Chains A and B, each alone.
Chain A
């Protein structure tokens, strides 16, 4: 048992995958000698050589379409998009080709690949470096969308994503890169596509993913001091969406609050809330609430704490569903 950061866990997952499967290629901007701007690919080029771990020209659509071609040839590309806000030039490739290739070819020419995206805010970054674009991808049929919240899960999910036969968009909560966990990597692996109840409770269910999972746990601790035991679910995967785990919890607690950093309107929380309303309506004691970013562009760093859901805002929502 040793202490490991999420950045190290991801690095280790890439290393193992490169070692175990010769078809795995790691590519992106500055991921070679530099090891990525967040050092997630540190030392990988040195260990596996510049043929398998390589920098690309600075062009995200290029990275995406080029990766598709490599996948078609039998390789397993793991592409890094340097920041959330830089993924948009690749959107046409993603929506028109990556997501549809298996479908269009009637299963004959799937393009399994992984796109890693450091996402979301909380690190005091410049514009275009703190966005949460996951809903665009979750809305696109044919893509799996995965978000780890802890180092251990980052290792497990990335390992599984690279082995997965479908394209996986892997959103890494960059504010958690340096979070540490005492754990043995790969020891307690849960299959991708399953949510995990990370804290038991009976008063209310908090549903979150990425950096909002520890934020909800923090909130749960605060609520607990007031004698309120909330349950916390880490979604882990938006597509597929594990409605069963969420519904089961809500059947027990009768109340749900969904938390994410992305803006409210048409965010993934809307999907969670609507699905729960459809499947667990008779168990609900209160409306399902959402605590999210506002419907504004991601704010400048100096005021981002007003945007990212805080413990107080989540506590406020818990109060409202409990007193409804």
Chain B
């Protein structure tokens, strides 16, 4: 087994064989099992499409998530519509599951608008947060607000292995424990923070850090969508009903570069990448579903069509999309424009008008 899976919860082994006993806790119907695959397939397709769009100059930059589809889809699928996910910047898969229009999401990467063009409150999917680990605290504050409301809403914070080095990760975990905030900390340990391997971020296993804060920490095979779903579902329920946070470390691998501006060949050992390609989350799950007779040719065809439609939707929404109106730049700095901003807006619009 590839290093890093010690103590990890796993339901499907890399050949797609299910641990029937461990799977008894799963509350998924056949439709759900297929939907998880459809979402993973669409995520991969949207991710590849986004990388292609960047190569064509239609996106300014894009951070591929290839290899992390099971971690994102499995975890986000465990959320209820009212639950709020706070992403970092590699969570296109989680965005898809939360119902965010990926064109609106990708406008962040096109450079149309910081934070994309979707409504974070309506979709309950936060804006892309680039400063590492900063979004973790927002998830905790939001979760505590939900608790004060007497609501059942849970927050989920997405972050990577590198984020666990930041103070905001520590402060977020600690605040959550002290205030009993209904939040799930979902760490995708994809082994790399740009070029730095996880061994240089931390000596202790990430999931075990939870012990120091006083709540459960669980390691899961993040390339196993069923295991990821199960442990997240349990963590979400624990947050919802007991106001106990959980730290989940989903062990996975970033098969692509950090971003389209990166050259992973300079630091990722080829053998390591090959080893992880063998653990491709889609292949594993496809084998399982096929074995079970669920993934019939007809179903597969329908899913491929859905993925094609999504890719076409992304392409048509992004290619040649107009930039925002320059006047928008002054619109939402404050609730009302200050006199100073009015004067600056006038200056910009006059200059823009002259061009």
Residues of A near any B CB (own CB < 8 A): 25, 51, 56-57, 59, 61-62, 64-75, 89, 92-93, 96-97, 100-110, 141-142, 144, 164-166, 193, 239-241, 243-244
Q: Which of chain B's residues have a CB closer than 8 A to the CB of A70?
A: 141-142, 144-145
- B86-121, CB < 8 A from A: 113-115, 117, 119-121
A-B contact count (CB 8 A): 136
Q: Which of chain A's residues have a CB closer than 8 A to the CB of B333?
A: 102-103, 141-142
- B141-157, CB < 8 A from A: 141-146, 148-149, 155
Question: Are A61 and B138 CB-contacts (below 8 A) given A74-B145, A240-B340?
Answer: no
Residues of B near any A CB (own CB < 8 A): 113-115, 117, 119-122, 127, 129-131, 134, 136-146, 148-149, 155, 167-168, 171-172, 174-175, 178, 328, 331-335, 338-340
Question: Are A105 and B115 CB-contacts (below 8 A) given A61-B171, A65-B172, A92-B131?
Answer: yes
Q: Which of chain A's residues have a CB closer than 8 A to the CB of B155?
A: 69
- The contact of B139 among A25, A69, A97, by CB within 8 Å, is A69
Compute how far the CA of A201 lies from the CA of B45 in the bound complex, rounded to whole angstroms.
Answer: 72
Nearest neighbor of B131 in chain A, beta-carbon distance: A96
Nearest neighbor of B177 in chain A, beta-carbon distance: A57
Identify whether the interface residues of B are mostly helix, strand, loop, or mixed: helix
A-B contact pairs, 9 of them (CB 8 A): A61-B171, A65-B141, A68-B138, A70-B145, A92-B168, A97-B129, A102-B333, A239-B338, A244-B339
Q: Which of chain B's residues have a CB closer than 8 A to the CB of A67?
A: 141
B117 touches A240 (CB 8 A): no
A106 touches B117 (CB 8 A): yes
B145 touches A69 (CB 8 A): yes
- The contact of B121 among A68, A92, A108, A241, by CB within 8 Å, is A108
CB distance from B185 to the nearest CB of A (A): 14
CB distance from B20 to the nearest CB of A (A): 40
Q: Which of chain A's residues have a CB closer than 8 A to the CB of B172?
A: 62, 65
CB distance from A311 to the nearest CB of B (A): 32
Q: Which of chain B's residues have a CB closer than 8 A to the CB of A68?
A: 137-138, 141
Nearest neighbor of B176 in chain A, beta-carbon distance: A66
A240 touches B335 (CB 8 A): no
A57 touches B178 (CB 8 A): yes
Q: List the 8 closest pairs (A to B, CB-CB), nearest first.
A: A69-B141, A65-B137, A73-B145, A104-B115, A62-B171, A165-B335, A69-B142, A66-B141
CB distance from A319 to the nearest CB of B (A): 33
Q: Which of chain B's residues have a CB closer than 8 A to the CB of A57?
A: 171, 174-175, 178
- The contact of A105 among B127, B139, B175, by CB within 8 Å, is B127
B115 touches A65 (CB 8 A): no
Q: A97-B131, A100-B114 are in contact. List 13 more A-B contacts (CB 8 A).
A: A59-B171, A61-B137, A65-B138, A65-B140, A66-B144, A69-B138, A69-B139, A70-B144, A93-B137, A105-B332, A106-B331, A164-B335, A239-B338
